[in-house]
């Protein structure tokens, strides 16, 4: 069985909640990577090819865009759901992420056959490979600085509040002057936030306003 906190975080993520709880539950957790037997061939002196004995391999998933992911599973049961004859090997999350980096892969894909597939990619992959933890977006100094840079100087904004989202990783509330045009300010802020936070907030953000 998957750890209860990880299972709950993945279930919440599948229901539309942000992914930070998943990343927090994954940090330091144990996963299972599949090892499968593959047949190799050898060429004989007469030019014919014959099968050699099988070797063990760590399978990877290749997406439509050519990106590669190393497979990992939260439990032996979820691994068997993908391929019943694969041998489960228990590893720490850091080992799985480091294996992906060593293989030149772009991600660790967790529970590809369900119940809730999830991919660790981008900067998160390297952070977890190094044994680190993922800072919550509303506490990340780089994210806070990017939000201030994006929205702090826009006309009509008198204050910014950043907090965890209810259906995303981050919620931003802009406090507007009474005479501000809400739609104009929202569009400008959304454009600038999208540019500054690109690649940082994988679980999306909520943007709203209140008036002074």
- Domains of the chain with CATH codes: 4-129 (no CATH), 137-211 (3.30.70.1350)
- Mean residue pLDDT of the chain comes to 88
Tell which wins on pLDDT, 122 or 46.
Answer: 122
SS3 label, residue 172: strand
pLDDT value for 25: 92
Q: What confidence score (pLDDT) does residue 80 get?
A: 95
Give me the percent of the chain exceeding a pLDDT of 90. 64
pLDDT digit string, tens, across residues 69-95:
999 999 999 999 999 999 999 999 999
β-pairing verdict for 118-121 and 107-110: antiparallel
pLDDT of residue 43: 53
How does residue 21 score in pLDDT terms, banded at 50, 70 and 90? confident
pLDDT for 59 equals 85
Residue 77: count other Cβ atoms within 10 Å of its Cβ. 13
What pLDDT was estimated at residue 5?
93
pLDDT at 3: 87
Nearest to 151 by CA among 207, 210, 198, 200: 207
The confidence band for 107, taking pLDDT boundaries of 50, 70 and 90, is: very high
Ranked by mean pLDDT, the top range of 24-28, 56-60, 107-111 is: 107-111
Output the pLDDT for position 9. Answer: 92
Q: Is the pLDDT of residue 109 over 80?
A: yes
Whether the per-residue pLDDT at 126 is higher than 70: the answer is yes
Q: Is the pLDDT of residue 54 over 50?
A: no
Q: Report whether 54 contacts 47 (CB < 8 A).
A: no
Q: What is the pTM of this model?
A: 0.74
Neighbouring CB atoms inside 10 A of 80's CB total 16
- Is residue 96 scored above 70 in pLDDT? yes
Q: Is the pLDDT of residue 57 over 70?
A: no
Cα–Cα distance for residue pair 55/72, rounded to 1 Å: 20
């Amino acid at each position: 069985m998957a750890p209860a906190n990880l299972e709950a975080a993945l279930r919440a993520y599948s229901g539309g909640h942000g992914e930070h709880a998943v990343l927090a539950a994954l940090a330091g957790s144990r996963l299972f990577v599949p090892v499968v037997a593959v047949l190799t061939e050898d060429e004989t002196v007469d030019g014919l090819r014959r099968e050699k004995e099988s070797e063990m391999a760590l399978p990877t998933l290749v997406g439509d865009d050519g990106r590669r992911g190393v497979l990992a599973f939260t439990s032996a049961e979820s691994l068997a759901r993908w391929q019943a004859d694969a041998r489960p090997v228990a590893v720490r999350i850091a080992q799985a992420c480091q294996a992906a980096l060593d293989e030149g892969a772009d991600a660790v894909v967790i529970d590809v056959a369900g119940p809730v597939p999830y991919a660790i990619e981008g900067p998160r992959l390297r952070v977890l490979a190094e044994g680190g933890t993922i800072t919550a977006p509303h506490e990340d100094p780089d994210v806070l600085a990017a939000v201030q840079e994006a929205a702090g100087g826009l006309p009509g904004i008198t204050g910014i509040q950043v907090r965890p989202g209810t259906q995303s990783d981050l919620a931003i509330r802009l406090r507007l002057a009474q005479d501000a045009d809400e739609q104009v300010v929202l569009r400008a802020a959304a454009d600038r936030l999208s540019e500054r936070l690109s690649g940082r907030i994988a679980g999306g953000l909520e943007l709203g306003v209140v008036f002074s």
